[in-house]
Amino acid sequence: MVWRSVDGKEPTKLNHEKFSAVAPISDDVVVVSYLSAGGYTLTVALNLKTFQMAAFASGHDTWVQQKGTFELLPEPA
């Protein structure tokens, strides 16, 4: 999996994660999960029709639930 943050003035560098999976749930919903090199996990349910998301992040002694929206961006040049 390759990802980057686009919050702030400049997008972050591309991050390449070795362990990841995408699981289709329906025509409009997928679940994406990855384990970062730093030992943190992120699992996100994405509704591709409404652009709503729910996520769970954890690592070491932390656990966080997040909800919100997302957007699909073109691949970087």
Q: What is the pLDDT of residue 4?
A: 72
Per-residue pLDDT band at 76 (split at 50, 70, 90)? low
Measure the CA dihedral 22/55/53/20, to 10°. Answer: -20
* Residue located via tokens 């919100």: 68
pTM: 0.78
